[in-house]
Amino acid sequence: MVPGWLSELDAVLRGYKADPSLLAHGTSHIRLQPLVLGSVLLGLTYGIFMGLFAVATRTPASWMQLAATAIKVPALFFLTLVVTFPSLYVFSALFGVRLGPADTLRLIVAPLAVNLAVLASLGPITGFFTLSTTSYEFMKLLNVFFFSVSGIIGLKVLLTMLSRLEEAQTLGAAAPASAALADGGGVPSQPPAAPPTLPPSRERSTARLTFHVWVIIYALVGAQMGWILRPFIGSPDIPFQWFRNREANIFIDIVQTIGKLFGS
Q: Write out pLDDT tens, residues 18-54.
A: 888 888 777 888 999 999 999 999 999 999 999 999 9
The predicted pLDDT at position 2 comes to 66
Report yes or no on 132 lying in a domain.
yes
Report yes or no on 57 lying in a domain.
yes
Is 248 a residue whose pLDDT tops 70? Answer: yes
Range of the domain at 55: 4-170+198-261
Domain count, the chain: 1
Report yes or no on 154 lying in a domain.
yes
Mean pLDDT of 132-156: 92
The predicted pLDDT at position 43 comes to 96
Report yes or no on 180 lying in a domain.
no
Q: Which residues of 87-123 are buried (b: 16+ CB within 10 A; e: fewer)?
A: ebbebbeebebebeeebbbbbbbbbbbbbbbbbbebb
Q: Higher confidence at residue 127 or residue 61?
A: 127
Report yes or no on 184 lying in a domain.
no
The predicted pLDDT at position 195 comes to 42
What pTM, to 2 d.p., does this model score? 0.82
* Banded pLDDT at 199 (limits 50, 70, 90): very low
